[in-house]
Amino acid sequence: MAEAGTSTPDEGRVVALFTTAGAAAQWLGFSREALAEFDAPGIRFVQGLRAFLGTVTTFALIWMYGVDGGWSSVLEDGLTKLFMAPLVLIVAGPLVITGFILYAPKDLRPGLRQNLRFPLMTVGAYLGLPLAGLGAAAGVWWLIITYVAPWKFGLIVGPLLALLLSFWLVGGLLWLAVFVFLASGVVARTAFNTGVVHPTLPAVFTAIVVWTLNLVSLGDGLPNGPLSIKIAALLGGPLSVTAISAWELRFLRTRYGVRVRGPRTGHTAE
Write the CB contacts of 141 (distance below 8 Å, at least 6 apart in sequence): 169
The 10s digit of each residue's pLDDT in 159-196 is 777 788 888 888 888 999 889 888 887 887 777 888 88
pLDDT at 269 over 60: no
**Residue with more model confidence, 269 or 173:** 173
Query: d(Cα 188, Cα 205) in Å, to the nearest integer?
Result: 10
- In this structure, the number of other CB atoms found within 10 A of the CB of residue 173 comes to 13
Query: Quick check: pTM over 0.75?
Result: no
The 10s digit of each residue's pLDDT in 51-69 is 555 555 555 555 554 555 5
The 3-state DSSP class for residue 28 equals coil
The 10s digit of each residue's pLDDT in 88-126 is 777 777 888 889 899 989 998 898 888 888 888 888 888
